[in-house]
Amino acid sequence: MELMPAVLGVLKAAVTKVADCTFGQLLNRKNSRDRIDAIKFQLKTNRQVETFFPLLGQLREIFLENRSLLQDPENITFFTTWLRHSLLESPVPCSMGGEFWTLQKIRQLRSDVEKLKV
Task: Count other C-beta atoms under 10 Å from residue 43's C-beta.
Answer: 20
Q: Give the mean pLDDT of the chain.
A: 82
- What distance separates the 2 farthest-apart alpha carbons in the chain? 77
Q: Give the C-alpha separation, 38 to 102, whole Å.
A: 23
The range of the structural domain enclosing residue 81 comes to: 3-114
**Structural domain count, the chain:** 1
pTM: 0.73
Greater model confidence, 99 or 95: 99
Please report which confidence band the pLDDT of residue 95 belongs to, taking 50, 70 and 90 as the band edges: low
Q: 3-state DSSP call for residue 45?
A: helix
Q: Give the C-alpha separation, 5 to 23, whole Å.
A: 26
- Express each pLDDT in 38-82 by its tens digit: 999 999 999 888 889 999 999 999 999 988 899 999 999 999 999
pLDDT of residue 64: 92
- Is the distance from CB of 78 to CB of 113 less than 8 angstroms? yes
Q: Give the C-alpha separation, 83 to 30, whole Å.
A: 21
Please report which confidence band the pLDDT of residue 88 belongs to, taking 50, 70 and 90 as the band edges: confident
